[in-house]
Amino acid sequence: MSRLLLSAYPARLRRTYGPELIATMAEMAGPDGRPTSADRLRLVLDGLRERFRPPVRRPFALVAAVLALLIGGALGAAAGSWLGARAYPALPDAASLAHRVFPATGDIRPSSGPHYLSAGEGLPDGTDVGQVVAESHRKLAAEGWQTTAIRHGGIVTGYTYTATRDGVRLDVTSASDRNQGALWIGMSGQPDRPAVYLPLTVAGALLGLLAGWLTGVSLSHRIRVSRRPVTNAVVAATGLVLAVPSAAGFVASLLSYLTSERPAPTGGTLIHEQGFAFGPTAETVLALRLNLPDDWSVGDIQQLALGLQQMWVWGFALVAVAAVLARRSTGAPTRDARAA
């Protein structure tokens, strides 16, 4: 029981005040030789409070703890949203669906990804586009899709409608430019955001905030009693600063995604489109209107986004190095210094 109760206290206090804590528990012991439930709860709460308490009169340590808190919250949200993204429904095969729904002209051009699909088909001159769209509407309804009414937006916009099934949304559109003689019908599809996505993201963010604060506080105490506190603090601060662009970029991308009416636009990039990502998407980099060179291509912007998504790895590595160096160089400060 003593070991279990002592585990509530951080290691720095167990090393320094272990015997006193055990003596305190012995004094609290009742007739059965064990502390009462109320005393055990008081000890646990006191230990947990010490785990959350940053070094006093150390403003830079407090700033580092707050920064670790925010970065941890962003990282937790990234992990939660990544888990939520695993619940996206599977999309139908773009080519197969288009061949079943569109006329068999042999000119279907499909495209698909993990969270989007698209297919378009050029139609021969003289085709009644309205009839083609109505026929696709009927075929999708026969396959169990819930379809909206067909709307006509003019000669250029053509006919449009939406079909949904099993958490997947299809937007069917057509184009008819009589001046150009171009007739065309196409579809784009994306999954609706899973119901578990937001709860998992929020839960991950809360756990990340907790872990971030505890990590920042623990690291601050460890660095404070090391033999080279300034050097270790600089390394840790550099690591935290390197992780900030990834965290801030991810939060911007997440907010944009959560507030978007089209959470998975055709051909767009979801936050975790290519696997777990902690940083901004290329679309977010563009939306932030950074002072990028005018001659930058889409590929250059994607490389910049990828670089921002990887900065946190180097930042966390530096934080880990600072923690190891501080542990190996821990001196022997007085008890009063440790208690400060």
Helices 197-224 & 298-328 angle (0-180, nearest 10): 40
For the chain, the structural domain boundaries read 1-24+37-53, 64-87+196-339, 94-191
Per-residue pLDDT of the chain (340 residues; tens, 9 = 90+): 467 777 888 887 877 777 777 777 777 766 666 777 787 788 888 888 888 999 888 889 999 999 999 999 999 999 999 999 888 888 899 999 999 999 876 678 888 877 788 898 888 877 888 899 999 999 999 999 999 999 987 655 678 999 999 989 999 998 765 545 578 889 998 888 888 999 999 999 999 999 999 999 999 998 988 888 999 999 999 999 999 999 999 999 899 888 876 655 433 456 787 788 898 888 888 777 666 777 777 778 788 888 888 999 999 999 999 999 887 665 444 444 444 4
Closest Cα to residue 101, out of 65, 69, 145?
Answer: 145
CATH topology for the 94-191 domain: TATA-Binding Protein (3.30.310)
* Both tokens assigned to 138: 């009927």
Closest by CA to 319, choosing from 256, 238, 259, 251, is 238
8 alpha carbon, distance to own chain's centre = 31
Residue pair 167/89 in contact by the 8 Å Cβ criterion = yes
DSSP H or E run through 177: strand 168-177
